[in-house]
Amino acid sequence: YLATSYKYELLKKQLDVDKQFEYDHQFLQEETPLHEAEEIYYPPQKLKNQAFIRSIAHYSELYRQSMEEPNKFWKSVAKELHFEKWSDKGLEYNFDHRKGEIFVKFMEGAKTNMAYNCLERNIQKGLGSKIAYIWEGNEPGDQMTITYQELLNQVVKFAEVLRTKGVKKGDVDHSVDSVIMLEHLKRVRKPQGATPPEVKINEKIDSFWHIEMEEASSKNLQASKIEWNDSEDPLFILYTSGSTGTPKGLVHTTTGYMTYAYEAVKTIFDTKSDDVFWCTADIGWITGHTFVVYGPLLNGLTTMILEGLPNYPDGSRVTKLYTAPTAVRSLMACPDEMVTKHSRDSLKIIGVAGEPTNPGAWRWLHRLVGEEKCAIVDTYWQTETGGPMLTPFPGATPTKPGSATNPFFGVDPVLVDDKGDLLRGETEGNLCFARAWPGMARTIWGDHSRFIKTYFSTYPGLYFTGDGARRDHDSYYWVTGRVDDNMNVAGHLLSTSEIESVIVLHPDVVESAVVAVSHPSKGHVPYAFVILRNGKTLTQKLIDEIKQIVREKIGPFAAPYVIHESSGLPKTRSGKITRRILRIIAEGDHKANLGDTSTLLDEAVIEEMWKKRPDFK
């Protein structure tokens, strides 16, 4: 019994740590070339020379330290930040609910403050007059910049507004009489003379940002009063839409998240003082939190925020760009000149996150956007993880299109089968993490048992991501998507993203989403939604060609049974396709409850999809 239980395997792994390293990370020897027949892109020499992490051997050494002495590793990162009071504690956790409560803590008892680390700490280092944010409106010329010092001044004033309203540390739940109407500074005032958008104002409880801030200004505040927080004080709660059930409010805490976000932005985007960083994420989501707000400010960067479309009018002043594969695919539909007419000389690193990047989109970024001189970093992570878990380093990691490559520092990825048995070597299975990392969410707000049930009960002792992944012969990880999205067709387990990647190989197809749909005689069959390139229509010839590509590249069983043309897909604001809605449409279940659609970017597309649904059953 013991021999097959992963607990035993884990134990063995613990004892055998050196051997395991040798085995899992053979590729880490600089001299060992990666598999030759494969498509591999080596880090651009220019980046390599000045990067924080400049070779695979260097990564390997740092990774080894982070695994063997996690406390030493993470506390030396934390040392670069400001702590009012240090702690002698490190990373403490329990992932096994059979041994007691599930918990994670990092540097408990230390006192610090996130805003202080983002602002005052950098200003003391001389960055006061450096631009923190460049805000661009959708219209060219509609621009605003704010320096680190100006941002601090606003923060100090706003903190005073909150204090005046009686908001105290620990209230993360505001009382009704302290609601503040956040007027969008520029959008409302510009263009000159424009009327602000209609909003319902409740005179008793609502107040205006600019009026409150003016009042605070008149108080002539000298310096900020800093609230020192404990390491494990909650920093923010982010709700993930969740494909079923009510949204989960994931709680991130102060020191662990701060340390992880700082290190991730620094090393994955290899931050330099003259960088202009642009992460296209909405700041209301984890990518925006880590890569627009906290991570860039902690690193003293200049960050661009665009309120508008990423392809309008251009982004040529940016040095490091971070976006979603879905955005890449929609840009690919535009003629090449849209990209080539603008200089991309400044661009050095292009990051992608949020879903598997199909190799076609990857190559488009590399060849056309990056002119083969940029590193492409495909970063795998989740709202729950706080920061990237699998990622290349731009100056060190040879990349393969479609793979998020290797673990970030302190991250211990494992693949298990459905019974929870550990899978070794080249394999495919359920992606889990075998130990804690500082940036992970600590709980689901108000529902710790749901936190345990969702992440720690499927494979006791492991954090389960809900994703499937493949590990190749170089120990590279290829995330195949949510295991719930996998489908079983005629005994073959297929990942929807794999079929989607193949469908978009067809030159007329811009984007595709595949779901499993029940069939009266065949069990389940793949049902493909496709978005076509401008001007193309879905002819029988095109349908046959699409099916043929899938037959050739994967196998006859994977060929979509139905192809459904659409002008768009229902997506969340983080760019994720809401497959539960697609499944309902594919099933033709008009009576089904679409669930919570409040996080969708464009609800109108659902109506259109119903209209265009081919009748196949």
- Contacting positions for ligand WT7 (CB under 6 A): 240, 286-287, 353-356, 378-383, 404, 465-467, 479, 481-482, 574, 576
Closest CA to 561 of 500, 519, 604, 502: 519
CB of 496 vs ligand WT7, minimal distance in Å: 11
CB 128 within 8 A of CB 148: yes
The tokens describing 94, both together, are 């329990």
The tokens describing 453, both together, are 């049930």
CB of 517 vs ligand WT7, minimal distance in Å: 21
Closer by beta carbon to ligand WT7, 404 or else 606: 404
Identity at 209, one-letter amino acid code: W
Quote the Cα angle for 476-435-7, to 5°. 95
Closer by beta carbon to ligand WT7, 137 or else 249: 249
Closest CA to 257 of 390, 427, 81, 85: 81
CB of 482 vs ligand WT7, minimal distance in Å: 5
CB of 573 vs ligand WT7, minimal distance in Å: 10
CB of 404 vs ligand WT7, minimal distance in Å: 5
| CA dihedral of 94, 470, 497, 295, whole degrees rounded to 10 | 50
Q: How far apart are CA 232 and CA 246, in angstroms?
A: 26
CB 474 within 8 A of CB 432: no
Closest CA to 339 of 349, 328, 348: 328
Closer by beta carbon to ligand WT7, 404 or else 504: 404
Q: How far apart are CA 211 and CA 206, in angstroms?
A: 11
Closer by beta carbon to ligand WT7, 256 or else 466: 466
CB of 385 vs ligand WT7, minimal distance in Å: 8
CB of 205 vs ligand WT7, minimal distance in Å: 32
- Order of strands, edge to edge, in the sheet holding 463-471? 422-423, 413-416, 427-433, 463-471, 477-482
Q: How far apart are CA 453 and CA 540, in angstroms?
A: 47
Q: How far apart are CA 35 and CA 358, in angstroms?
A: 20
Closer by beta carbon to ligand WT7, 201 or else 283: 283
Closer by beta carbon to ligand WT7, 72 or else 453: 453
Closer by beta carbon to ligand WT7, 482 or else 547: 482
Closer by beta carbon to ligand WT7, 355 or else 565: 355
Closer by beta carbon to ligand WT7, 43 or else 392: 392
Closest CA to 599 of 172, 239, 184: 239
CB of 122 vs ligand WT7, minimal distance in Å: 25
Element (H, E) at 104: strand 103-106
CB of 356 vs ligand WT7, minimal distance in Å: 4
CB 581 within 8 A of CB 546: no
Closer by beta carbon to ligand WT7, 250 or else 542: 250
CB of 285 vs ligand WT7, minimal distance in Å: 7
Closer by beta carbon to ligand WT7, 128 or else 595: 595
CB of 238 vs ligand WT7, minimal distance in Å: 9
Strands 375-379 and 413-416: unpaired
SS3 content of the chain, % helix, strand, coil (to 5): 35, 20, 45
Phi/psi at 602 (5° precision): -145, 100
Q: How far apart are CA 52 and CA 135, in angstroms?
A: 28
